[in-house]
Amino acid sequence: MEIQPPYTSARAPIVEFIEFNGANFKTVNWKVPETSVYKGKIVYVHGFAEDSSLYVEFFDKLSTTGYEIFFFDQRGAGETSPGSLVGKTDEHHVFNDLDFMIKHTLDTRTDESEKIFLAGHSMGSGIILNYGIRGKYKDNVKGIAAIGPLIRLHPKTEPNVVLRVLAPVISKLVPNLKIDSKLNIDYVTSNVAWQDYIRVHSAKLIGTTRQFHDMFTRGAALLDPEYVGKFNPEIAVFVAHGTDDNINWIKGSEEFVALLKPNVDKKFVKIEGGRHSLAIEKAEIFAKFWEELVGFLDKH
């Protein structure tokens, strides 16, 4: 059954496919309209099992505000990796692919002073926060906006003890074994229209054992004081987390931000009543998140 997102834009993004390292990446580029003042470009890294359709409203509004969006379906997700390729990725490919996409963005600039931001959600936020520490092109990034980052899973979502203990072993023996995450869609957003869309569009949120292991390990690294202490102090950091997020624990975001050194320009925002996906929350919650995010981007 096909279902359309509960939002229709009057504008259409530019969709292109870019081949790199054995994958054909779907990219979606939301240009700033001529009626808006151009402010910079955002490379957006999506969350687990997400694709561009979830962000049509968010990106439409954000680009109208003056920020061009460059989005790509990651390896293992969306139209980049359909069918049997779903979930097939690992730590090396995640960061190698992101390096390529950022380099592509840098190479296509017509103005070298153009501001480049990284933004992302959930798993994607965990990726970009790590990028601020060990990313190849981190020195070219002006700011990072992390939304509901996967640092610590909420106790209501955390895998059972047996799976967590065996994950390192399973991921090595059968790295491409598919697992249904069985995420509770009610935890994703309180916006009923978006809940209904996700239930049909993403009936099963499936990943591989390697993918799960790597994203949980990646999140845990962001609680290591010595590692986080290496975060590039030239990158401004914005972290927004819903207080009612029962997928990723807000406590993890608090702990990470506290570990950043004092010389890092950082802002942590708790969005009251917000669930996991703040970009598709109901209007009154989204408005609080939107004001904080745009304020951060405009400031930097």
pLDDT tens figures, 188-208: 999 999 999 998 887 567 777
Say which CATH number the domain at 280 has: 3.40.50.1820
Overall average pLDDT of the 10-24 stretch: 96
**What confidence score (pLDDT) does residue 3 get?**
81
Asked which of 44-48, 78-82, 158-162 is least confident by mean pLDDT, the reply is 158-162
Residue 176 has pLDDT above 80, yes or no: no
* Strand pairing category for 178-180 and 206-208: antiparallel
> Considering the domain boundaries, does residue 8 fall inside one?
no
What is the tally of structural domains in the chain? 1
Letter for the amino acid at 20? F
Overall average pLDDT of the 131-155 stretch: 97
Percent of the chain with pLDDT over 90: 77
In angstroms, the CA 81 to CA 262 distance is 41
**What confidence score (pLDDT) does residue 212 get?**
86
Overall average pLDDT of the 209-226 stretch: 92
Would you please indicate which residues are annotated as catalytic (active-site) residues?
122, 245, 276
> Considering the domain boundaries, does residue 173 fall inside one?
yes
Contact call for residues 21 and 97 (beta carbons, < 8 A): yes
> Considering the domain boundaries, does residue 3 fall inside one?
no
> Considering the domain boundaries, does residue 4 fall inside one?
no
**What confidence score (pLDDT) does residue 161 get?**
45
Contact call for residues 27 and 19 (beta carbons, < 8 A): no
Instruction: Tell me the whole-structure pTM to 2 decimals.
Output: 0.95
Q: What is the pLDDT of residues 225-237, one digit of tens each?
A: 999 999 999 999 9
Task: Determine the structural domain holding residue 114 and report its residue range.
Answer: 14-299
Letter for the amino acid at 51? D
Letter for the amino acid at 101? M
Structure tokens at 26: 């779907």
Overall average pLDDT of the 273-292 stretch: 98
> Considering the domain boundaries, does residue 138 fall inside one?
yes
> Considering the domain boundaries, does residue 253 fall inside one?
yes
> Considering the domain boundaries, does residue 7 fall inside one?
no
> Considering the domain boundaries, does residue 6 fall inside one?
no
**What confidence score (pLDDT) does residue 73 get?**
97
SS (H, E, C) 212-235: HHHHHHHHHHCCCHHHHCCCCCCC
In angstroms, the CA 147 to CA 38 distance is 23
